[in-house]
Amino acid sequence: MVLGMSLQAFTLVHVIISLIAIVIGLIVMFGLLSSKPMPGLTAIFLIFTILTNATGFLFPFKELLPSYIIAGISLVLLAIACIALYGMKLAGAWRPVYIVTAMISLYFNVFVLVIQSFLKVPALAALAPAVPPNPPGGPVFAVVQGIVLVFFVLVTIGAWRRYRPMAFA
């Protein structure tokens, strides 16, 4: 039981929160590229991404896993993003700080989504089998993760160059 839910129900809630964070995060990401602040969606993205990482720590703990480390780093990055956005109002160097920290946090969520997809979707698992406790591996998995990484690097650079909101309230 986690938060009064069975582990299966809690896992479903965690996955739904994660998918909401990713979908809204992608919308916000494309808003950055077109210099549209989207304050409401940005708040939802940040809240759900924080919830995704925080709820990850509530699963039964057996050993320190890479997912805990990624979630911890992401929470620190999200705290910095929130300070840059809401505390410092994206003034000066805080604009690129926000862009980079928010996009890395989104990338981490997508990175984990790709891993989980290769673990849970039979067709993908056949392309990149995992030998527990190791994550999926092999050339197909590496290529997919490489494409995701390059995509996020390019989008982050594009957002850094283009995102110039008049005001973010």
pLDDT in tens, 140-154: 999 999 999 999 999
3-state helix, strand and coil shares in percent for the chain, rounded to the nearest 5: 75, 0, 25
Residue 134 to residue 21: CA distance in whole angstroms: 26
Q: Examine the pLDDT at 131 and tell me if it is beyond 90.
A: no
| CA count, 13 A, side-chain hemisphere, 4 | 0
The yes-or-no verdict on residue 32 having pLDDT over 90 is: yes
Q: What is the pLDDT of residue 22?
A: 98
pLDDT the model gives residue 1: 85
One-letter amino acid identity for 24? I
CB-count exposure of residue 150 (10 Å: 0-12, 13-18, 19+): exposed
- What is the rounded average pLDDT of the residues 17-35? 97
What value does the mean pLDDT take over residues 20-32? 97
Q: Find the mean pLDDT for residues 122-128.
A: 88
Q: According to the model, what pLDDT value does residue 125 have?
A: 87
What integer best gives the mean pLDDT of the chain?
A: 93
Only one residue has tokens 């994660």, namely 18
Q: What is the pLDDT of residue 167?
A: 57
pLDDT confidence bin for 168, thresholds 50/70/90: low
The 10s digit of each residue's pLDDT in 34-52 is 999 899 999 999 999 999 9
Q: Give 142's Cβ-side CA count (13 Å radius).
A: 3
* Rounded distance between C-alpha atoms, residue 144 and residue 2, angstroms: 33
59-107 pLDDT tens trace: 998 888 888 999 999 999 999 999 999 999 999 999 999 999 999 999 9
Map out the domains of the chain as residue ranges.
7-162
pLDDT reading at 133 higher than 80: no
